[in-house]
Amino acid sequence: MITYFLNVKKILKIQNMLKGISPLISPELLEVLARMGHGDEIILADAHFPGESFNNHVLRADGLRIPDLLEAILPLYELDSYVPAPLTMMAAVEGDELDPTVEEAYLGAIHKSNPDVAPIERIDRFDFYDKARNAFAVVMTGETAKYGNILLKKGVTPSM
C-alpha cells in the first residue's frame, strides 16, 4: 500500500511538471489514456451508471461533469476516424425522453478539439451495458444528467 502511494505521489509530481494537461485529468486517467490502443473504448459514465457491475477497471472522477472532462481529454486523445461513430451514448428507454441540452453540452466540448467528428450514435441501454463490459475502462463522474454516459473510441494518433 505504501508503494502505491509513493507511485501516485511521483505521478502527481510529474503531472504538475507537464504542460498542456488539464488538472481535471487525474494521474490514473492520464495513465489509462496513454495505455489505450486504437480501437479501445473508454466510457465517461454519469454518477448513476453501474460501472462496477460491468467493468473491473473503474476510475473515479467524482464531482466532475462530463463536458469538462471531454474538454480536458480530447486535446490529448485521437477519436477513431475509421468508424462511422467514434462517440456513442445511450438511447432513451421507451417512455423516457432525452434532454437535448445534454448532448448539446457534450458536442460543445467535443467540437472545440474535434470540429468535424461524426454525429453521436445512440444505442439501446443493454447494448451500451455490453460495450461497458468490453471497454478498456469506465470513468465514474459526478455527472447527474439522465442518459449522460458517453463512450469514446480511440483512434490512431497521427505522427508528429
Is 49 contained in some domain?
Answer: yes
Residue 57 lies in a domain: yes
Report the predicted TM-score, pTM, of the whole model to 2 decimal places.
Answer: 0.88
Domain extent at residue 133:
35-153
**CATH number of the domain where residue 131 is located:** 3.40.1650.10
Of 38, 48, 57, 111, the active-site residue reads: 38
Per the domain annotation, does 159 fall within a domain?
no
Identify whether 146 is part of a domain.
yes
Residue that wins the pLDDT comparison between 3 and 141? 141
Summarize the confidence of residues 55-82 as an average pLDDT: 96
Over the stretch 76-118, which tens digit does the pLDDT of each residue have?
A: 999 999 999 999 999 999 999 999 999 999 999 999 999 999 9
In this model, does residue 14 exceed pLDDT 60? Answer: no
Question: What is the distance of C-alpha 108 from the center of its chain?
Answer: 15
Provide the pLDDT for residue 9.
Answer: 52
Looking at the 3D structure of the chain, how many domains does it have?
1
38 is catalytic: yes
Tell which residue, 67, 57, 56, 55, has the closest CA to residue 24.
67
Give mean pLDDT, residues 141-148.
Answer: 97
Q: Is residue 130 part of a domain?
A: yes
In a domain, 3, yes or no: no
Q: Determine, yes or no, domain membership for 9.
A: no
Residue 75 lies in a domain: yes
